């Protein structure tokens, strides 16, 4: 049996039976913690749109929460804030729950924002003729939100398909939004792994050629074989067990935002985010939202195939990940999102 086949079997064996997980029946009461510090990396990206909508539409306040949002350069930095104790909860990539379990530290996701990765890899247009496949990016510099974030992991995953190691490419943290556009315009990077609206802006300016695209569910199906959980709310387990009403309030606000985004017009969305998030072009922002809308979770609930697909993605790109040792059921609970969905 090949190593690849063995790894795939291990991933499947580690897949959780989310629907069979114990459900704790609780009546939602007043949040135990009314003031919550939330960390996020690159909030202006459409990747985190549900978070921004929950804030701007007052969904957090209506759930009884005063949420202080600290925006870092990338997801790895927001994870550090959680583990260091300066944040109560993170809006970040689900995959961090798996990576931290591999390191012996438990964190758990409980409200999904993205059911598709919503990222894309592109190279500068003046270099596009040199890149026919992943093997051709050896030695190139890629602008990611921050080293260690999902944007870097996507490049590493794709590079591995071309026989390259993570060290064969250079990841440079460029944040999100306007700084991404600037990094390509001034040629400080050869390519990017990023989220919208920066991607669409660079495409419209014909400054990049997209090589890998997960901004549609079709793209996720082609690359990962199904859904790929992206941004979510995750926290250390104590938040969920010791302050369940607080966790429920957070999940309720995100689920309401997810649901609002399913029917909101692009113009309504653009009017609901800070002007700076539009990067100077409201029309492009609206088109970018339309392009990624289907990858936004409709209800905050983790798709059944999501955790296993994410684990396979990580294992294929990082030999340190050992699927057989990962307990996916401990990285996620649908309890809070399911309750929020039923009450909406």
Under 8 Å between Cβ of 94 and 18? no
Paired with 89 in beta bridges are 38
165 phi, psi to nearest 5 deg? -95, 165
Domain boundary among 163, 180, 213: 213
Average pLDDT on 29-55 reads 96
- Quote the CA–CA distance of 12 and 182 in Å, as a whole number: 42
Average pLDDT on 231-239 reads 97
pLDDT given at position 17: 43
pLDDT given at position 269: 98
CA torsion through residues 147, 45, 157, 7, sign = positive
Q: What range does the domain containing 232 cover?
A: 3-116+227-343
Q: What is the pLDDT of residues 272-282, one digit of tens each?
A: 999 999 999 99
pLDDT above 70 for 217 = yes
Domain count of the chain?
A: 2
pLDDT band at 14 (very low <50, low <70, confident <90, very high): low
Judgement on whether residues 40 and 109 belong to the same structural domain of the protein? yes
Judgement on whether residues 10 and 23 belong to the same structural domain of the protein? yes
E strands in 150-213: 170-173, 191-195, 208-213
Cβ burial of 19 (10 Å; 0-12, 13-18, 19+) is exposed
* Percent of the chain whose predicted confidence (pLDDT) is above 70: 92
- Quote the CA–CA distance of 233 and 257 in Å, as a whole number: 13
Q: What is the pLDDT of residues 122-175, one digit of tens each?
A: 999 999 999 999 999 999 999 999 888 889 989 999 999 999 999 999 999 998
pLDDT above 50 for 20 = no
Judgement on whether residues 108 and 166 belong to the same structural domain of the protein? no
pLDDT given at position 49: 98
E strands in the chain: 35-41, 66-72, 89-93, 108-112, 119-124, 141-144, 170-173, 191-195, 208-213, 231-235
pLDDT above 50 for 68 = yes
| Residue 222 lies inside a defined structural domain of this protein | no
pLDDT above 70 for 203 = yes
pLDDT above 90 for 283 = yes
| Residue 243 lies inside a defined structural domain of this protein | yes
Judgement on whether residues 168 and 47 belong to the same structural domain of the protein? no
Structure tokens at 8: 């795939």
- Quote the CA–CA distance of 340 and 335 in Å, as a whole number: 9
pLDDT given at position 115: 97
Average pLDDT on 69-80 reads 91
Domain boundary among 184, 213, 242: 213
Under 8 Å between Cβ of 175 and 42? yes
Paired with 142 in beta bridges are 171, 191
Judgement on whether residues 181 and 329 belong to the same structural domain of the protein? no
Indicate which CATH number applies to the domain containing 254.
Answer: 3.40.190.10
Judgement on whether residues 339 and 245 belong to the same structural domain of the protein? yes
Judgement on whether residues 63 and 166 belong to the same structural domain of the protein? no
Residues, the chain, total?
344
pLDDT above 50 for 24 = no
Average pLDDT on 80-96 reads 96
Average pLDDT on 188-217 reads 95
pLDDT above 70 for 270 = yes
3-state class (DSSP) for residue 303 = coil
pLDDT above 80 for 266 = yes
pLDDT given at position 26: 44
pLDDT given at position 186: 97
E strands in 55-169: 66-72, 89-93, 108-112, 119-124, 141-144
Mean of all residue pLDDT scores within the chain: 91
Domain boundary among 190, 213, 236: 213
Least confident of 71-75, 239-243, 337-341: 71-75
Q: 74: which residues sit within 8 A by CB, 6+ positions away? A: 41, 42, 144, 145, 146, 147, 148, 149, 151, 173, 175, 176
Judgement on whether residues 108 and 9 belong to the same structural domain of the protein? yes
């Amino acid at each position: 049996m090949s190593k690849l086949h063995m790894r795939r079997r291990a991933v499947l064996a580690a897949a959780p039976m989310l629907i069979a997980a114990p459900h704790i029946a609780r009546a939602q009461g007043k949040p135990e913690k009314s003031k919550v510090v939330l960390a996020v990396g690159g909030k202006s990206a459409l990747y985190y749109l549900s978070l921004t909508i929950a804030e701007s539409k007052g969904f957090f306040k209506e759930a009884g929460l005063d949420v202080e949002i600290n925006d870092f350069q990338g997801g790895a930095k927001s994870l550090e804030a959680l583990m260091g104790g300066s944040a109560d909860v993170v809006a970040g990539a689900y995959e961090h729950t798996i990576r931290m379990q591999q390191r012996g530290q438990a964190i758990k996701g409980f409200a999904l924002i993205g059911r598709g990765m919503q990222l894309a890899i592109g190279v500068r247009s003046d270099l596009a003729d040199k890149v026919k496949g992943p093997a051709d990016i050896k030695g190139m510099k890629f602008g990611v939100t921050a080293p260690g974030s999902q944007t870097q992991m996507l490049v590493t995953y794709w590079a591995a398909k071309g026989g390259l190691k993570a060290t064969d490419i250079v990841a440079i943290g460029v944040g999100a939004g306007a700084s991404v556009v600037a990094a390509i315009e001034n040629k400080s990077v050869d390519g990017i792994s990023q989220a919208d609206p920066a991607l669409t802006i660079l495409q419209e300016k014909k400054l990049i050629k997209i090589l890998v695209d997960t901004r549609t569910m079709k793209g996720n199906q082609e690359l990962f074989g199904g859904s790929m959980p992206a941004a979510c709310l995750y926290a250390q387990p104590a938040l969920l067990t010791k302050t369940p009403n607080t966790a429920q309030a957070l999940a309720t606000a995100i689920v309401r935002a997810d649901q609002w985004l399913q029917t909101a017009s692009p113009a309504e969305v653009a009017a609901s985010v800070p002007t700076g998030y539009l990067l100077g072009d409201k029309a492009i922002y609206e088109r970018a939202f339309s392009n990624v809308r289907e990858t936004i979770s409709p209800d905050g609930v983790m798709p059944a195939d999501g955790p296993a697909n994410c684990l396979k993605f990580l294992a294929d790109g990082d030999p340190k990940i050992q699927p057989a040792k990962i307990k996916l059921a401990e990285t996620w609970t649908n309890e809070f999102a399911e309750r929020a969905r039923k009450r909406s």
